[in-house]
Structure 1
Protein backbone atom coordinates (compact mmCIF):
# COMPACT_ATOMS: atom_id res chain seq x y z
CA UNK A 1 0.00 0.00 0.00
CA UNK A 2 2.84 2.43 0.71
CA UNK A 3 4.17 1.75 -2.81
CA UNK A 4 0.86 3.00 -4.19
CA UNK A 5 0.80 5.94 -1.75
CA UNK A 6 4.25 7.11 -2.78
CA UNK A 7 3.46 6.65 -6.47
CA UNK A 8 0.26 8.68 -6.04
CA UNK A 9 2.09 11.45 -4.19
CA UNK A 10 4.76 11.71 -6.87
CA UNK A 11 2.02 11.92 -9.50
CA UNK A 12 0.29 14.65 -7.46
CA UNK A 13 3.52 16.63 -7.05
CA UNK A 14 4.14 16.52 -10.80
CA UNK A 15 0.51 17.22 -11.72
CA UNK A 16 -0.05 20.17 -9.38
CA UNK A 17 1.63 22.72 -11.70
CA UNK A 18 -0.38 21.50 -14.71
CA UNK A 19 -3.66 21.59 -12.79
CA UNK A 20 -2.87 25.03 -11.40
CA UNK A 21 -2.28 26.34 -14.91
CA UNK A 22 -5.63 24.90 -15.97
CA UNK A 23 -7.38 26.56 -13.03
CA UNK A 24 -5.61 29.94 -13.09
CA UNK A 25 -4.52 30.31 -16.71
CA UNK A 26 -1.69 32.79 -17.09
CA UNK A 27 -2.40 34.69 -13.87
CA UNK A 28 0.44 35.11 -11.39
CA UNK A 29 2.99 33.26 -13.49
CA UNK A 30 6.63 34.08 -13.19
CA UNK A 31 9.23 31.92 -14.86
CA UNK A 32 11.70 30.30 -12.49
CA UNK A 33 14.56 31.26 -14.81
CA UNK A 34 13.35 34.87 -15.14
CA UNK A 35 13.89 34.62 -18.90
CA UNK A 36 17.64 34.13 -18.42
CA UNK A 37 19.49 32.53 -21.35
CA UNK A 38 22.83 30.74 -21.19
CA UNK A 39 25.69 31.22 -23.66
CA UNK A 40 23.95 28.75 -26.02
CA UNK A 41 21.16 31.32 -26.42
CA UNK A 42 18.57 29.03 -24.85
CA UNK A 43 16.55 29.62 -21.71
CA UNK A 44 17.81 28.05 -18.51
CA UNK A 45 14.55 26.10 -17.95
CA UNK A 46 11.94 27.62 -20.27
CA UNK A 47 8.72 29.56 -19.87
CA UNK A 48 6.58 26.69 -18.57
CA UNK A 49 8.57 26.29 -15.32
CA UNK A 50 6.99 28.81 -12.96
CA UNK A 51 7.20 29.72 -9.30
CA UNK A 52 3.42 29.29 -9.14
CA UNK A 53 3.74 25.68 -10.31
CA UNK A 54 6.43 24.92 -7.75
CA UNK A 55 4.35 26.55 -5.02
CA UNK A 56 1.33 24.46 -6.04
CA UNK A 57 3.34 21.24 -5.72
CA UNK A 58 4.85 22.33 -2.39
CA UNK A 59 1.41 23.17 -0.95
CA UNK A 60 -0.76 20.36 -2.33
CA UNK A 61 1.55 17.39 -1.87
CA UNK A 62 2.09 17.73 1.91
CA UNK A 63 -1.67 18.08 2.44
CA UNK A 64 -2.39 14.88 0.56
CA UNK A 65 0.55 13.15 2.22
CA UNK A 66 -1.03 13.76 5.63
CA UNK A 67 -4.37 12.42 4.36
CA UNK A 68 -2.54 9.22 3.44
CA UNK A 69 -1.10 8.91 6.95
CA UNK A 70 2.42 10.18 6.35
CA UNK A 71 4.13 13.32 7.56
CA UNK A 72 3.80 16.71 5.92
CA UNK A 73 7.62 16.83 5.92
CA UNK A 74 7.69 13.74 3.69
CA UNK A 75 5.18 15.41 1.38
CA UNK A 76 7.20 18.58 1.21
CA UNK A 77 10.35 16.58 0.43
CA UNK A 78 8.55 14.56 -2.25
CA UNK A 79 7.27 17.73 -3.90
CA UNK A 80 10.61 19.55 -3.68
CA UNK A 81 12.55 16.64 -5.15
CA UNK A 82 9.99 16.08 -7.90
CA UNK A 83 10.30 19.75 -8.85
CA UNK A 84 14.12 19.58 -8.76
CA UNK A 85 13.93 16.55 -11.06
CA UNK A 86 11.53 18.38 -13.36
CA UNK A 87 13.77 21.46 -13.50
CA UNK A 88 16.77 19.25 -14.20
CA UNK A 89 14.90 17.60 -17.06
CA UNK A 90 13.95 20.97 -18.49
CA UNK A 91 17.53 22.19 -18.21
CA UNK A 92 18.76 19.14 -20.14
CA UNK A 93 16.03 19.47 -22.76
CA UNK A 94 16.95 23.13 -23.38
CA UNK A 95 20.61 22.16 -23.80
CA UNK A 96 19.53 19.49 -26.30
CA UNK A 97 17.63 22.15 -28.25
CA UNK A 98 14.20 20.76 -27.45
CA UNK A 99 11.40 23.28 -27.07
CA UNK A 100 9.37 23.61 -23.87
CA UNK A 101 6.86 20.76 -23.51
CA UNK A 102 8.61 18.68 -26.19
CA UNK A 103 8.66 14.97 -25.41
CA UNK A 104 11.86 13.33 -24.25
CA UNK A 105 10.91 9.82 -23.17
CA UNK A 106 12.57 8.91 -19.89
CA UNK A 107 14.10 12.33 -19.39
CA UNK A 108 10.62 13.71 -18.76
CA UNK A 109 9.74 11.07 -16.17
CA UNK A 110 12.74 9.44 -14.51
CA UNK A 111 14.35 12.36 -12.62
CA UNK A 112 11.05 13.64 -11.25
CA UNK A 113 10.11 10.20 -9.92
CA UNK A 114 13.49 8.70 -9.03
CA UNK A 115 14.72 11.59 -6.86
CA UNK A 116 11.76 11.60 -4.45
CA UNK A 117 11.41 7.81 -4.46
CA UNK A 118 15.09 7.26 -3.69
CA UNK A 119 15.11 9.76 -0.83
CA UNK A 120 11.82 8.93 0.94
CA UNK A 121 11.38 5.34 -0.25
CA UNK A 122 12.66 3.88 3.03
CA UNK A 123 10.11 5.97 4.97
CA UNK A 124 7.45 4.23 2.87
CA UNK A 125 8.96 0.78 3.44
CA UNK A 126 10.35 0.42 -0.07
CA UNK A 127 13.59 -1.27 -1.08
CA UNK A 128 15.67 -0.68 -4.23
CA UNK A 129 13.58 -3.11 -6.28
CA UNK A 130 10.37 -1.39 -5.19
CA UNK A 131 11.83 1.99 -6.12
CA UNK A 132 12.81 0.73 -9.58
CA UNK A 133 9.29 -0.64 -10.00
CA UNK A 134 7.81 2.64 -8.83
CA UNK A 135 9.84 4.61 -11.38
CA UNK A 136 8.78 2.20 -14.15
CA UNK A 137 5.15 2.49 -13.07
CA UNK A 138 5.45 6.28 -12.99
CA UNK A 139 6.84 6.38 -16.54
CA UNK A 140 3.96 4.24 -17.84
CA UNK A 141 1.28 6.09 -15.88
CA UNK A 142 2.68 9.49 -16.83
CA UNK A 143 2.50 8.57 -20.51
CA UNK A 144 -1.10 7.42 -20.09
CA UNK A 145 -2.16 10.33 -17.88
CA UNK A 146 -0.51 12.79 -20.27
CA UNK A 147 -2.70 11.57 -23.11
CA UNK A 148 -5.81 11.68 -20.94
CA UNK A 149 -4.86 15.18 -19.75
CA UNK A 150 -4.44 16.27 -23.36
CA UNK A 151 -7.87 14.95 -24.31
CA UNK A 152 -9.38 16.74 -21.31
CA UNK A 153 -7.51 19.89 -22.39
CA UNK A 154 -5.46 19.95 -19.20
CA UNK A 155 -2.24 19.67 -21.20
CA UNK A 156 -1.23 21.53 -24.34
CA UNK A 157 0.45 18.44 -25.80
CA UNK A 158 0.51 14.74 -24.94
CA UNK A 159 3.77 12.92 -24.33
Structure 2
Protein backbone atom coordinates (compact mmCIF):
# COMPACT_ATOMS: atom_id res chain seq x y z
CA UNK A 1 0.00 0.00 0.00
CA UNK A 2 1.21 3.49 -0.85
CA UNK A 3 2.75 5.31 2.14
CA UNK A 4 0.66 8.42 1.52
CA UNK A 5 -2.49 6.31 1.75
CA UNK A 6 -1.15 4.68 4.93
CA UNK A 7 -0.46 8.10 6.42
CA UNK A 8 -3.96 9.29 5.62
CA UNK A 9 -5.56 6.15 7.06
CA UNK A 10 -3.47 6.43 10.22
CA UNK A 11 -4.11 10.08 10.98
CA UNK A 12 -7.74 10.21 9.86
CA UNK A 13 -9.33 8.82 13.07
CA UNK A 14 -7.49 11.26 15.38
CA UNK A 15 -8.18 14.17 13.02
CA UNK A 16 -11.89 13.34 12.89
CA UNK A 17 -12.06 12.86 16.66
CA UNK A 18 -10.31 16.14 17.39
CA UNK A 19 -12.21 18.08 14.75
CA UNK A 20 -15.67 16.75 15.50
CA UNK A 21 -15.56 17.28 19.27
CA UNK A 22 -16.08 20.99 18.58
CA UNK A 23 -19.57 20.17 17.34
CA UNK A 24 -20.63 19.75 20.96
CA UNK A 25 -20.45 23.54 21.26
CA UNK A 26 -23.60 23.66 19.14
CA UNK A 27 -25.58 21.75 21.76
CA UNK A 28 -27.81 23.78 24.02
CA UNK A 29 -26.74 21.96 27.18
CA UNK A 30 -23.18 20.81 27.77
CA UNK A 31 -21.62 19.19 30.78
CA UNK A 32 -17.99 20.03 31.58
CA UNK A 33 -15.73 17.03 32.12
CA UNK A 34 -14.23 18.65 35.18
CA UNK A 35 -17.68 19.38 36.68
CA UNK A 36 -16.56 23.00 37.06
CA UNK A 37 -13.98 21.96 39.65
CA UNK A 38 -10.55 23.45 40.17
CA UNK A 39 -7.21 21.68 40.39
CA UNK A 40 -4.79 22.04 43.32
CA UNK A 41 -3.52 25.31 41.86
CA UNK A 42 -6.99 26.87 42.06
CA UNK A 43 -7.53 26.89 38.29
CA UNK A 44 -10.06 24.83 36.38
CA UNK A 45 -8.93 21.31 35.54
CA UNK A 46 -9.94 21.54 31.86
CA UNK A 47 -12.40 24.41 31.52
CA UNK A 48 -15.87 24.71 30.04
CA UNK A 49 -14.68 23.80 26.55
CA UNK A 50 -14.06 20.15 27.41
CA UNK A 51 -17.37 18.37 27.83
CA UNK A 52 -18.78 14.87 28.11
CA UNK A 53 -20.69 15.58 24.92
CA UNK A 54 -17.52 16.59 23.10
CA UNK A 55 -15.76 13.42 24.20
CA UNK A 56 -18.70 11.28 23.09
CA UNK A 57 -18.97 13.01 19.72
CA UNK A 58 -15.21 12.97 19.17
CA UNK A 59 -14.69 9.32 20.04
CA UNK A 60 -17.79 8.18 18.14
CA UNK A 61 -17.07 10.16 15.00
CA UNK A 62 -13.36 9.41 15.15
CA UNK A 63 -14.08 5.72 15.43
CA UNK A 64 -16.82 5.37 12.84
CA UNK A 65 -15.83 8.00 10.29
CA UNK A 66 -12.17 7.35 11.02
CA UNK A 67 -12.61 3.70 10.20
CA UNK A 68 -14.74 4.23 7.08
CA UNK A 69 -11.86 4.58 4.56
CA UNK A 70 -10.56 1.23 5.77
CA UNK A 71 -13.58 -0.46 4.25
CA UNK A 72 -11.80 0.14 0.95
CA UNK A 73 -8.15 -0.08 2.03
CA UNK A 74 -8.17 -2.39 5.06
CA UNK A 75 -5.24 -0.82 6.93
CA UNK A 76 -6.71 -0.19 10.38
CA UNK A 77 -9.16 -2.30 12.33
CA UNK A 78 -12.22 -0.83 13.98
CA UNK A 79 -10.42 -1.27 17.31
CA UNK A 80 -7.43 0.68 15.92
CA UNK A 81 -9.75 3.51 14.91
CA UNK A 82 -11.39 3.50 18.34
CA UNK A 83 -8.04 3.57 20.15
CA UNK A 84 -6.66 6.31 17.88
CA UNK A 85 -9.80 8.42 18.34
CA UNK A 86 -9.89 7.92 22.10
CA UNK A 87 -6.19 8.66 22.47
CA UNK A 88 -6.62 11.82 20.39
CA UNK A 89 -9.30 13.08 22.76
CA UNK A 90 -7.11 12.21 25.76
CA UNK A 91 -4.23 14.09 24.14
CA UNK A 92 -6.44 17.12 23.61
CA UNK A 93 -7.54 16.96 27.25
CA UNK A 94 -3.94 16.75 28.36
CA UNK A 95 -3.19 19.82 26.27
CA UNK A 96 -6.09 21.70 27.88
CA UNK A 97 -4.86 20.65 31.32
CA UNK A 98 -1.36 21.98 30.56
CA UNK A 99 -2.77 25.24 29.17
CA UNK A 100 -4.79 25.79 32.34
CA UNK A 101 -1.66 25.21 34.45
CA UNK A 102 0.16 27.80 32.34
CA UNK A 103 -2.70 30.29 32.93
CA UNK A 104 -3.66 30.31 29.26
CA UNK A 105 -7.33 31.14 28.75
CA UNK A 106 -9.65 28.93 26.75
CA UNK A 107 -9.13 29.46 23.04
CA UNK A 108 -5.70 31.03 23.49
CA UNK A 109 -3.32 29.80 20.77
CA UNK A 110 -0.49 27.66 22.11
CA UNK A 111 1.71 26.38 19.31
CA UNK A 112 2.61 23.50 19.04
CA UNK A 113 0.50 22.20 21.92
CA UNK A 114 -2.85 22.80 20.23
CA UNK A 115 -1.72 21.37 16.93
CA UNK A 116 0.07 18.24 18.06
CA UNK A 117 -1.29 17.11 21.44
CA UNK A 118 -4.09 15.02 19.98
CA UNK A 119 -1.97 13.47 17.25
CA UNK A 120 1.08 12.67 19.37
CA UNK A 121 -1.03 10.90 21.98
CA UNK A 122 -2.82 8.90 19.29
CA UNK A 123 0.44 7.90 17.63
CA UNK A 124 2.00 7.04 20.98
CA UNK A 125 -0.86 4.70 21.85
CA UNK A 126 -0.77 3.15 18.37
CA UNK A 127 2.99 2.61 18.63
CA UNK A 128 2.50 0.63 21.84
CA UNK A 129 0.95 -2.25 19.94
CA UNK A 130 1.84 -1.70 16.27
CA UNK A 131 5.03 -0.75 14.53
CA UNK A 132 5.03 2.88 13.50
CA UNK A 133 7.39 3.79 10.70
CA UNK A 134 9.44 6.89 11.43
CA UNK A 135 8.84 8.51 8.00
CA UNK A 136 5.07 8.25 8.57
CA UNK A 137 5.43 9.74 12.03
CA UNK A 138 7.54 12.63 10.78
CA UNK A 139 5.20 13.33 7.88
CA UNK A 140 2.23 13.41 10.24
CA UNK A 141 3.99 15.77 12.66
CA UNK A 142 5.12 18.12 9.88
CA UNK A 143 1.78 18.21 8.06
CA UNK A 144 -0.49 18.45 11.08
CA UNK A 145 0.13 22.09 12.07
CA UNK A 146 -0.66 23.20 8.51
CA UNK A 147 -3.77 21.04 8.26
CA UNK A 148 -4.85 22.02 11.78
CA UNK A 149 -4.57 25.72 10.99
CA UNK A 150 -6.52 25.36 7.75
CA UNK A 151 -9.33 23.30 9.29
CA UNK A 152 -9.60 25.62 12.29
CA UNK A 153 -9.90 28.59 9.97
CA UNK A 154 -12.63 26.79 8.03
CA UNK A 155 -14.44 25.97 11.29
CA UNK A 156 -14.15 29.63 12.28
CA UNK A 157 -15.63 30.74 8.96
CA UNK A 158 -18.46 28.22 9.43
CA UNK A 159 -19.00 29.70 12.91
CA UNK A 160 -18.19 26.42 14.61
CA UNK A 161 -15.30 28.06 16.47
CA UNK A 162 -14.93 31.49 18.04
CA UNK A 163 -11.26 31.85 17.09
CA UNK A 164 -9.54 31.13 13.78
CA UNK A 165 -6.66 29.20 15.40
With normalisation by structure 2, the TM-score equals 0.86
- The 5-angstrom pairing of residues 67-78 of structure 1 reads 67-69=68-70, 70-78=76-84
- 1:17 aligned residue: 21
Query: CA 1:137–1:124 in 2, change beyond 3 Å: closer, same or farther?
Result: farther
1:46-61 alignment, distance < 5 Å: 46-61=47-62
Deviations 1:97-131 (A, max 9, x none): 11111110101122211111233269887402211
Contact 1:10–1:78 under 8 Å retained in 2: yes
Query: Deviation of residue 46 (structure 1)?
Result: 0.6
Which runs of structure 1 show a deviation greater than 3 angstroms over 4 or more consecutive aligned residues? Answer: 121-126
Unmatched segments (≥5 aa) in structure 2: 71-75
- TM-score (structure 1 length as normaliser): 0.89
RMSD between superposed Cα atoms in Å: 1.9
Q: Which residues of 2 match residues 1-159 of structure 1 at below 5 A? A: 1-22=5-26, 24=27, 26-27=28-29, 29-69=30-70, 70-120=76-126, 126-159=132-165
8 Å Cα contact 2:17/2:63 also seen in 1: no
Q: Contact conserved, 2:12 with 2:66, CA < 8 A, in 1?
A: no
- Contact 1:11 / 1:138 at 8 angstroms: preserved in 2? no
Structure 1, unpaired ranges of 5+: none
